[in-house]
């Protein structure tokens, strides 16, 4: 796992073995200080913005490089969109363009992780579609939206 959060998350469970302080050489002192500073910044930032550390994740750069030639696309029909904002509400990365942009057909943003929660949350038939090699594999439907909402309220 590449995500740096794997070192921070165990601390919340009380496991401090991941936070190693090494003062045996000047280089290790500098790296320890840098690590503690970055950890403090990430913890402070997480109180300011949801998933703050994702803006610095190296996986985002890999995803950006691979998203341009990808066969998978997330497309939007702006004429069918009512701008209800349900897609933005469920988006873990808070990508506002998914809800706001009604002109561009391709709405795959660089930081989108393709979880398809926006497509599942959309109540308008065909407003959002997930396509692979030009073929629709998943699209928003009113019936599917109602069924998912009923299923979610039965708990």
User: Chain-wide mean pLDDT for the chain?
Assistant: 79
Q: What is the pLDDT of residue 12?
A: 74
SS3 124: coil
SS3 104: coil
pTM above 0.85, yes or no: no
Alpha-carbon distances, residue 131 vs 56, 84, 106 (angstroms): 28, 22, 10
Which range, 47-51, 61-65, 132-136, has the best average confidence (pLDDT)? 132-136
SS3 90: helix
User: Does residue 128 have a pLDDT over 50?
Assistant: yes
Phi/psi at 45 (nearest 5 deg)?
-65, -30
User: Does residue 33 have a pLDDT over 50?
Assistant: yes
Which CATH number is associated with domain 68-153?
3.30.70
Where in the sequence of the chain do the CATH 3.30.70 domains occur?
Answer: 68-153
Q: What is the pLDDT of residue 2?
A: 44
50 Cβ contact list (under 8 Å, min separation 6): 92, 94
Higher pLDDT, 53 or 94: 94
Two tokens, residue 87: 């897609």
């Amino acid at each position: 796992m590449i995500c740096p959060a794997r070192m921070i998350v165990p601390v919340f469970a009380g496991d401090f073995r991941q936070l190693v302080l090494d003062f045996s050489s000047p280089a290790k002192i500098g790296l320890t200080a840098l690590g503690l500073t970055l950890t403090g910044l990430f913890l402070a930032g997480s109180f300011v913005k949801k998933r703050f550390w994702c803006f610095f994740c190296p996986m985002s750069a890999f995803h950006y490089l691979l998203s341009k030639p990808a066969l998978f696309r997330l497309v939007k029909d702006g004429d069918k969109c009512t701008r209800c904002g349900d897609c933005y509400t469920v988006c873990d990365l808070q990508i506002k363009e998914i809800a706001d942009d009604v002109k561009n057909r391709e709405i795959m943003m660089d930081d989108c992780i393709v979880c398809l929660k926006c497509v599942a949350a959309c109540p308008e038939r065909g407003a959002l579609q997930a396509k692979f090699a030009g073929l629709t594999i998943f699209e928003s439907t009113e019936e599917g939206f109602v069924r998912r909402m009923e299923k979610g309220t039965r708990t």
